[in-house]
């Protein structure tokens, strides 16, 4: 679930976070010609003469948040379609568990799974704080991102992130950052037109080697339309708008001559699945009624996935895990309840003790069956794992018109960017693979 608490998108919280970021001694504020303000690291320029500073190579990672691969087609999204057809395309590409926004953006930039990055979900139970919170703190990422690795070698980087919690978690890592002045209430995101303006003015003003962009409209339309009646039309309008902006950005690269030095990676962090109001799963009540589990279970709701935490004595953990699995799997709409220690999941202890996925067409609403998750569009479960994933651009590293049968994943972005810029393989290897 991309939904935040009501406060998350509030002007007060946005203003507070901005004030904190800008109060940092490491940040200078630049007002671009467009009128938009950017935060930049002090002394950001690469040493004169450094090879990294001289290269004309540019990489743009554009995340069309929540876009389904079947939504990229000639009439609705002609620009994205043309970019895909003219470049390298991985039709079997997927998001990684948990199929949520924050963990998959972190996987893109770190190239590693959540048991290494420390970021398995949007919402988790912070055992230290004793509360459920969003993973929106810079320190939530425990490993180096490609942004920092490039920065260390004198390349400049930029983040243009439309969502408040993404601005939060990526923090001051990039050389140049756009931190939206305001977000749409409840959705907690800035509209794509504003994000596009920020991207183009950041490129005009600073021209970073790597820019990481999140376009949030396609996803947010799915979440914020509570009636569902105009969903299809709104979704199509968002796709059309986002596609037009991507097309305009590509045209700009071509007309400036930057295209022949550029690689543009387009992907989504997850896709989207819609549920009708009766297909809602709540596990908290059943857990509370159980003699072993009652009072000892906390659930972090992630839309299509529930993260269940055992808070009782560790001596009873194994027994509790089995009971949680039994109760969850006996509940209509549940696809599977995994012991979090199952090796392939690779989610790490932050994701709790049992990870429960729902079936397609369902959603979780925990702890409250009515108020916790009223939105029809959700992701996080396996039904939402297919994503668009393609690479366009005029740089020779991008091969024209190639389709690959390999299973590309969100964790492949960092190694692909690293190879493009000629970075050495890190000592602790990536979990993902370079795709160029």
269 binds Zn ion (CB under 5 A): yes
Which residues on adjacent β-strands are paired with residue 358?
Answer: 334
| Nearest residue (CB) to Zn ion, 243 versus 269 | 269
Q: Which of 219, 273, 306, 366 binds Zn ion (CB under 5 A)?
A: 219
Stretch that binds Zn ion, among 40-48, 62-70, 392-400, 403-411 (CB under 5 A): 62-70
Instruction: Enumerate residues 293-322 that contact Zn ion by CB under 5 A.
Output: none
Q: How far is the CB of 49 from Zn ion (least distance, A)?
A: 40
Question: Residue 338's CB: how many other CB atoms inside 10 A?
Answer: 20
Closer residue to Zn ion, CB minimum distance, 10 or 214 = 214
Rounded least distance, CB 79 to Zn ion, Å: 21
Minimum gap (Å) between residue 121 Cβ and Zn ion? 12
Residue nearest to Zn ion (CB): 101
In the complex, least distance from residue 357 CB atom to Zn ion, rounded to whole angstroms:
17
Site string for Zn ion, 368-407 (x = CB under 5 A): ----------------------------------------
Q: Which is nearer to Zn ion, 144 or 189 (CB)?
A: 189
Question: Of the ranges 69-77, 230-238, 268-276, 331-339, which one interacts with Zn ion (CB under 5 A)?
Answer: 268-276
Q: DSSP readout, 418-432?
A: HHHTTPPPPSS--SS
Q: Which of residues 140-169 bind Zn ion (CB under 5 A)?
A: none
Q: Using the minimum distance from each CB to Zn ion, give the nearer residue, 66 or 168.
A: 66
* 253 to 262, 263, 271, 278: CA distances (angstroms): 8, 11, 28, 47
CA nearest neighbour of 417 among 49, 95, 151, 101: 151
We find the least distance from the C-beta atom of residue 166 to Zn ion, in angstroms, to be 9
Phi and psi torsions of 205, nearest 5°: -80, -45
For 54-156, list the strands marked E by DSSP. Answer: 58-64, 88-89, 123-126, 131-134
User: Which CB sits closer to Zn ion, 197 or 378?
Assistant: 378
Nearer to Zn ion, 99 or 297 (CB): 99
Tokens of 178: 């756009």
Per the structure block, which two tokens stand in for 64? 């069309």
Binding segment for Zn ion (CB under 5 A), chosen from 86-94, 99-107, 181-189, 307-315, is 99-107
At closest approach, how far in Å is the CB of 302 from Zn ion? 11
**Residues in a beta bridge with 300:** 307
Quick one: which of 3, 39, 52, 101 contacts Zn ion (CB under 5 A)? Answer: 101
Q: Which stretch binds Zn ion (CB under 5 A): 24-32, 97-105, 275-283, 381-389?
A: 97-105
Planar angle of CA 257, 259, 262, nearest 5 degrees: 130
Quick one: 134 or 219, whose CB is closer to Zn ion? 219
* SS3 category, 381: coil
How far is Cα 324 from Cα 322, in angstroms, rounded to an integer? Answer: 6
Name which of 94 and 101 has its Cβ closer to Zn ion: 101
Stretch that binds Zn ion, among 134-142, 267-275, 322-330, 369-377 (CB under 5 A): 267-275
CA distance 414 to 123: 24
Query: From the CB of 100, what's the least distance to Zn ion, in Å?
Result: 7
Residue with smaller CB distance to Zn ion, 269 or 431: 269
User: What are 42's two structure tokens?
Assistant: 């002090």
Closest approach of Zn ion to the CB of residue 29, in Å: 28
**CA angle 289-293-294, nearest 5°?**
45
Number of chain positions touching Zn ion (CB under 5 A): 5
| Cα 3 from Cα 186, distance rounded (Å) | 8
Provide the minimum distance between the beta carbon of 300 and Zn ion in the complex, in angstroms, as a whole number. 17
Instruction: Decide if 125 contacts 307 (C-beta within 8 A).
Output: yes
Cβ partners under 8 Å of residue 26, min gap 6: 41, 42, 172
Q: What angle do CA 94, 397, 218 make, to 5 degrees?
A: 35
Q: Which of 4, 65, 217, 301 binds Zn ion (CB under 5 A)?
A: 65
In the complex, what is the shortest distance from the CB of residue 122 to Zn ion, in angstroms, rounded to a whole number? 8
**CA 106 – CA 102 distance, rounded (Å):** 6
Cβ proximity of 436 and 391 under 8 Å? yes
Minimal distance, residue 428 CB to Zn ion, in Å: 27
Return d(Cα 34, Cα 48) in angstroms, integer.
27
Measured from the CB atom, the residue of 221 and 423 that comes closer to Zn ion is 221
Q: Does residue 217 belong to the site contacting Zn ion (CB under 5 A)? A: no
Residues that bind Zn ion (CB under 5 A): 65-66, 101, 219, 269
């Amino acid at each position: 679930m991309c939904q935040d608490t009501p406060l998350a998108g509030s002007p007060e919280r946005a203003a507070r976070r901005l004030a904190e970021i800008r109060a940092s001694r490491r940040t200078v504020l630049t007002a671009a010609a467009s009128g938009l303000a950017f935060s930049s690291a002090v002394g950001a320029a690469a040493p004169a003469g450094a090879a990294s500073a001289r290269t004309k190579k540019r990489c743009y990672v554009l995340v069309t948040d929540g876009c389904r691969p079947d939504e990229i087609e000639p009439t609705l999204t002609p620009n994205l379609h043309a970019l895909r057809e003219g470049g390298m395309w991985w039709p079997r590409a997927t998001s990684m568990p948990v199929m949520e926004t924050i963990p998959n953006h972190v996987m893109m930039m770190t190239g590693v799974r959540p048991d290494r990055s420390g970021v398995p979900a949007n919402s988790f139970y912070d055992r230290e704080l004793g509360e459920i919170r969003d993973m929106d703190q810079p320190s939530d990422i425990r490993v180096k991102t490609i942004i920092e690795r490039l920065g260390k070698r004198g390349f400049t980087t930029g983040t243009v992130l439309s969502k408040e919690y993404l601005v939060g978690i990526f923090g001051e890592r990039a050389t140049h950052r756009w931190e939206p002045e305001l977000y749409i209430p409840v959705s907690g995101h800035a509209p794509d037109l504003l994000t596009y303006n920020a991207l183009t003015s950041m490129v005009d003003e600073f021209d970073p080697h790597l820019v990481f962009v999140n376009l949030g409209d396609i996803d947010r339309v799915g979440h914020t339309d509570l009636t569902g009646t105009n969903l299809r039309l709104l979704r199509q309008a968002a796709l059309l708008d986002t596609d037009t902006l991507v097309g305009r950005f590509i045209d700009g690269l071509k007309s400036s001559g930057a295209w022949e030095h550029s690689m543009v990676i387009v992907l989504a962090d997850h896709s989207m699945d819609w549920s009708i109001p009766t297909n809602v799963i709540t596990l908290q009540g059943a857990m509370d009624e159980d003699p072993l589990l009652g009072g000892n279970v906390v659930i972090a709701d992630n839309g299509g996935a529930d993260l269940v935490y055992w808070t009782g004595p560790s001596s009873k953990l194994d027994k509790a895990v089995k009971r949680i699995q039994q109760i969850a799997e006996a509940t209509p709409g549940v696809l599977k309840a995994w012991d979090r220690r199952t090796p392939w999941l690779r989610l790490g202890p932050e994701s709790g003790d049992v990870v429960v996925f729902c079936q397609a067409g369902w959603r979780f609403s925990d702890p409250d069956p009515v108020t916790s998750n009223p939105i029809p569009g959700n992701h996080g479960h396996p039904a939402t794992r297919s994503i668009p994933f393609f690479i366009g651009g005029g740089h020779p590293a991008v091969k024209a018109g190639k389709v690959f049968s390999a299973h590309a994943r969100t964790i492949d972005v960092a190694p692909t960017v690293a190879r493009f810029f000629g970075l050495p393989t890190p000592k602790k290897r990536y979990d993902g693979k370079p795709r160029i």
